[in-house]
Amino acid sequence: MFRILENDSSRLTDVVRRKERRKFKSARRQSESASEKKERLLRHVKHLKASIGIYEARQSRFREWLDAGDTSKNLHLIPYSIELLDVKMRRLWRALRRDEKNINSLQ
């Protein structure tokens, strides 16, 4: 019983800590200059492009396994994995377009 309460209190502390951090980041973003915002967005775009590249490589590897009929892999899960990667990549592409549009509006 005590252990459950202890876990709940640490979870509550984490929630409060995240809320404070979010507030701090929001205040910092509001006070940043246009050049700092552009720099932050460029870093984010670089990260998004790297993530998209990783997902595309993974997706092509899954397709190769499926085309080869590799019996050592769980072939019944691969179409689901490919679809899941499609969903993730669409989300990343949308964020990438949004950030690039924001960068262009800063110029």
The parent domain of residue 69 ranges over 33-106
Determine if the pTM surpasses 0.85.
no
Number of independent structural domains in the chain: 2
Q: Are residues 47 and 6 in the same domain?
A: no
φ, ψ for residue 56, nearest 5 deg: -65, -40
pLDDT (0 to 100) of residue 100:
94
For Cα atoms 74, 86, 37, give the angle at the middle one, nearest 5 degrees.
135
Closest-CA residue to 88 (of 59, 45, 65):
59
Q: What is the pLDDT of residues 45-83, one digit of tens each?
A: 999 999 999 999 999 998 888 888 876 767 778 888 889
Q: Are residues 26 and 65 in the same domain?
A: no
Closest-CA residue to 34 (of 99, 107, 101, 100):
107
Q: What is the pLDDT of residues 30-44, one digit of tens each?
A: 888 888 889 999 999
Q: Are residues 12 and 49 in the same domain?
A: no
Q: Are residues 47 and 86 in the same domain?
A: yes
